[in-house]
Amino acid sequence: MTAASIVGWAHTPFGKFDAETVEGLVVKVANEALADAGIAASDVDEIMLGHFNAGFSPQDFTASLVLQANPALRFKPTTRVENACATGSAAVHQGIRAIEAGAAKIVLVVGVEQMTRTPGPEIGKNLLKASYLPEDGDTVGGFAGVFGKIAQAYFQKYGDQSDALAMIAAKNHKNGVANPYAQMRKDFGFEFCRAESEKNPFVAGPLKRTDCSLVSDGAAALVLTDAETAKTMGKAVNIRATAHAQDFLPMSKRDILQFEGCTTAWQRALQKGGLQLSDLSFVETHDCFTVAELIEYEAMGLTPKGQGARAIMEGWTQKDGKLPVNPSGGLKAKGHPIGATGVSMHVMSAMQLTGQAPEGMQLKNAQLGGIFNMGGAAVANYVSILEPAK
């Protein structure tokens, strides 16, 4: 099997862009990623587009929008990939599979979403489509309501974790200050995140506004090739291992406090890579809500079940801790344009591993990066482990 490598990337700032379109965002990052890799459009063998949509974009059937970037992309095999909030990683993994199978030598992967033009109530309704509607369709507060229930159940089982959630929010917002692509570059501090206020009201259950990721527009792209070709390129990050574990959609069919699909994906990827969690230099994880990051500490094996708070309370996941988590600011600060998020995580990790992360965000001597991107409430679970090409 042929190993795959990332050899170029591009990333728009995430935020609210009234003058932008899905097409415009796609074209921008596609061209910038190819230029960054030093690859001609004519040399691309296959294209993957990650785009959730679910009502956010009036224009559906968006795969061919990537062809708008360059006439030389015409007639290239192009597929839109979708798996809820893990759509971006789903597209990246499909690109990796094409390289590994020898079906393509150069793959362009683009992730995009434009959410902010959609009215608030519709945003909640669109996102709730990533839950099991027969059970969760009437949830007040949309997807925040779903995770509010999860947080409530966690608190009931393990005690009030409001301090831990506020510390996670504060950490990620502080990290986001150094990320020029982040939607919110403001260090709110623990006290603001911990206290209910007019600017930080409760949204769902024990979750406050600072516990919830942002509604965002944005795009990211990367260029994949085989590891041999990558050696001739200007820079390269190798894909050490990937894993994807899909779980039942209804939460009633599983223990929602376990995130078992997340655990399974991490175990598979670490085993494939011949690694322990302690070998990783950092992790970019899916903090759509702070309680998700808390449970993910446990699911990835950083702490035993019910003890996720230790990881944040004892500073393990801070930028100078034993396993920095979300040095980019995560979804919490960076924003969460659904289809772009997983691609963004791979771009941010590749930057870290090549020493090209923005000043203040760059970790010292990062050698192995782990990525966890999740669709729904731990339904679609994708893990990637990256390392610099030697």
pLDDT 10s digits, 292-330:
999 999 999 999 999 999 999 999 999 999 999 999 999
Give the integer Cα–Cα distance in Å for 35 and 58.
29
Rounded to whole angstroms, what are the CA distances from 200 to 104, 141, 192, 194? 48, 16, 8, 9
Residue 333 falls within a domain, yes or no? no
CATH number at residue 220: 3.40.47.10
- Is it the case that residue 172 has pLDDT exceeding 90? yes
Evaluate whether residue 297 is within a structural domain. no
Interval 243-276: pLDDT, tens: 999 999 999 999 999 999 999 999 999 999 999 9
Task: Examine residue 99 and state whether it is found in any structural domain, yes or no.
Answer: yes
Q: What percent of the chain has pLDDT over 70?
A: 100
Q: What percentage of the chain's residues is helix, strand, coil (to nearest 5)?
A: 40, 20, 40
**Alpha-carbon dihedral of residues 327, 371, 299, 90, nearest 10 degrees?**
140
Cα–Cα distance measured from residue 390 to residue 385, given in angstroms and rounded to the nearest whole number = 15
Structure confidence at residue 2 (pLDDT): 87
Q: Is the pLDDT of residue 202 over 80?
A: yes
Separation CA 90–CA 74 (nearest Å) = 23
Instruction: Give pLDDT, residue 121.
Output: 87
Q: Which band of pLDDT confidence, cut at 50, 70 and 90, is reported for residue 210?
A: very high
Number of domains in the chain: 1
Q: Encode pLDDT of 37-72 as tens digits.
A: 999 999 999 999 999 998 999 999 999 999 999 999
pLDDT at 336: 98
Let me know if residue 105 belongs to a domain. Answer: yes
Q: What is the extent of the structural domain holding 112?
A: 4-118+215-230
Residue 236, domain member (yes or no): no
Checking if the pLDDT of 277 tops 80, the result is yes
Mean predicted lDDT score pLDDT of the chain: 97
9: left (phi over 0), alpha (psi -120 to 50) or beta: beta
Q: Which pLDDT score, from 0 to 100, does residue 1 have?
A: 75
- Residue 276 is predicted with a pLDDT of 98
Strands (E), 123-254: 202-204, 207-208, 217-226, 237-246
Find the mean pLDDT for residues 209-234: 97
The answer to whether residue 33 sits within a structural domain is: yes
Query: At residue 95, does pLDDT exceed 90?
Result: yes
Give, as one character, the DSSP assignment of residue 215: P
Q: Is residue 101 part of a domain?
A: yes
Question: DSSP label at 41?
Answer: G
Location of structure tokens 């007040």 = 140
Cα–Cα dist 117/111, whole Å = 18
pLDDT of residue 120: 87
Residue 84 lies in a domain: yes
